[in-house]
Chain A
Amino acid sequence: MAMLEVKDLEVYYGMIQAIKGVSFEVNQGEVIALIGANGAGKTTILHTITGLIQPKQGSVVFEGTDITKVPGHKIVSMGMAHVPEGRRVFANLSVYQNLKMGAYIQKDKNEIAKNLEMIYKHFPRLEERKNQMAGTLSGGEQQMLAMGRALMSSPKMILMDEPSMGLSPLLVKEVFSIIEFCHESGITILLVEQNAKMALGIADRAYVLETGKITLTGDAKELMEDENVKKAYLGV
């Protein structure tokens, strides 16, 4: 059974249908990429999964539990973290406070200390700047903070929304190495990206989303060779 199963999802913004019957699944341990152009509905799908938007039709099942109607704030304690588009770090709180906020649902103090140590080890920049306001960090550092904040909840699965957005090529590489690290530590990843090349390079399987519909799916390596994908998303 798939870890995350999205079935026939239909989402509306007022009268406008943003998602037109999308189905896909993510198995435990996989990295799944959801690629597509601006406005294809990638972020909407992630928001619907984590309960920030309610779908009109369809269902979201996580580890056998129907979470379609579960309010947003209860999702993270089920083991699913979400690194939102644009980072959304708490700009007026310190780096440390941001990380603590990520552990809001954690009751186990040892677990919090262990996660914090692990994050500081992998993101030394965050430790150097732990008392600095998150709003004063650079874009790349904020992305690391957003990822670290998600890791603080000890998630089984992380949804990542455009982690490479607005970053220099060097930082994009760094961000993807962090995604790899999350994957290696056993976390299942659903990655939404416009940077199709990087996303397909790291993913096991991928789905291509076009104006609210999935038009193509398959093994990430195969999709990279697909003529249509090459033309539309890889710029070759």
Chain B
Amino acid sequence: MSLISYVINGISLGSVYAIIALGYSMVYGIAKMLNFAHGDVIMVGGFVVYTMASGLGINPILSILCSMAFCTVLGMTIERIAYRPLRNAASSLAVLITAIGVSYFLQNIALIIYGSSPKAFTSVVTIPSLKLADGALTISGETIVTIVACIIIMVVLMLFINKTKAGQAMLAVSEDKGAAALMGINVNGTIALTFAIGSALAAIAGVLLCSAYPSLSPYTGAMPGIKAFVAAVFGGIGSIPGALIGGILLGLIEILSKAYISSQLSDAIVFAVLIVVLLVKPTGILGKQIQEKV
């Protein structure tokens, strides 16, 4: 029974990683940059809900919607102010370094406002836990909500990309910005939309993460952000199903190694697996080989 419960917990944690990884992967696929501030947007999303729900007593659902709106605007603002001016810079490292700077900036703003001591985050999930097999197996409400949220997000996102004009524009921009512009696609607008979607997902991930692991500090987003980046690379960066597979696998590996090997070593094991995967398949599990014909 304990194995099943570990697997379910692993899938749940993996679902959070997958939702975060989507933001990394979409932004990388379309803007060809690694947005290292993405993890800290999760933390901001968590703090918005914390302030509204725990601090001001506002309805949790309304708080989550406000948090998504806040992070969407934040993500688009970061893109507009910090990344867009550097898009055509000579070195792609310039925008990477800027992203790291934005990451510290967000952490420090949170430090000034909330201080460094972790806050107790009240879970926003109100559905009761599910008891199976005469109480031998308990699945928490948070776990159920997280997995369901991940499935819904994946389905909606796939439909959005494949069925809407804006989604098709994203595909075109991810392949060739110049050719996309010639088709009449607003490249800057499409990139901004990608940041908006990624950041809104980060807000959801923040709430789910803080509900499952109920503590919140300015550094809450850093480690999950890095791990979600690993998940994105693991699954094949730029690929949406890849983010899902990478995230779930990462969650499973982490929880199972905590349970059966060593809880101190679990992170090291996660990264070791990444290294092995990249040695065998450098583009990740679902990564595409780029083929060009001259």
Question: Which residues on A are within 8 Å of B, measured CB to CB?
Answer: 50-52, 71-77, 81-82, 84, 86, 88-93, 97, 100-102, 104-105, 135-139, 142, 149, 153, 166
Contacts and interface: CB of A to CB of B under 8 A. Distances in A.
B183 interface: yes
Given A100-B168, A135-B291, A76 B184 contact: yes
A101 B167 CA distance: 11
Contacts of B31: none
Contacts of A102: 183
Contacts of A104: 165, 168-169, 172, 183-185
18 contacts: A52-B181, A52-B182, A73-B182, A73-B186, A73-B187, A86-B294, A88-B178, A90-B176, A91-B175, A91-B291, A92-B175, A93-B171, A97-B168, A100-B168, A101-B180, A104-B168, A139-B293, A153-B183
B293 A73 contact: no
Given A90-B171, A104-B165, A104-B169, A135 B183 contact: no
A204 B176 CA distance: 33
Interface in B253-294: 288, 290-294
| List of 4 A-B pairs having minimum Cβ-Cβ separation, nearest first | A105-B184, A72-B181, A88-B179, A76-B184
B237 to A, nearest CB: 14
A92 B182 CA distance: 18
Contact of A82 (B171, B175, B182, B292): B182
A104 B183 CA distance: 6
Contacts of B175: 90-93
Contacts of B165: 104
A72 B183 CA distance: 9
B184 A153 contact: yes
Contact of A88 (B169, B176, B185, B186): B176
A91 B289 CA distance: 11
A82 B180 CA distance: 11
Given A90-B172, A104-B183, A104-B185, 9 more contacts: A73-B180, A73-B183, A76-B183, A84-B182, A88-B179, A91-B175, A97-B168, A101-B180, A153-B184
Contacts of B176: 88, 90
Nearest to B171: A93
A76 B182 contact: yes
Interface in B160-209: 165, 168-169, 171-172, 175-176, 178-187
Nearest to A105: B184
A129 B193 CA distance: 32
Contacts of B288: 92
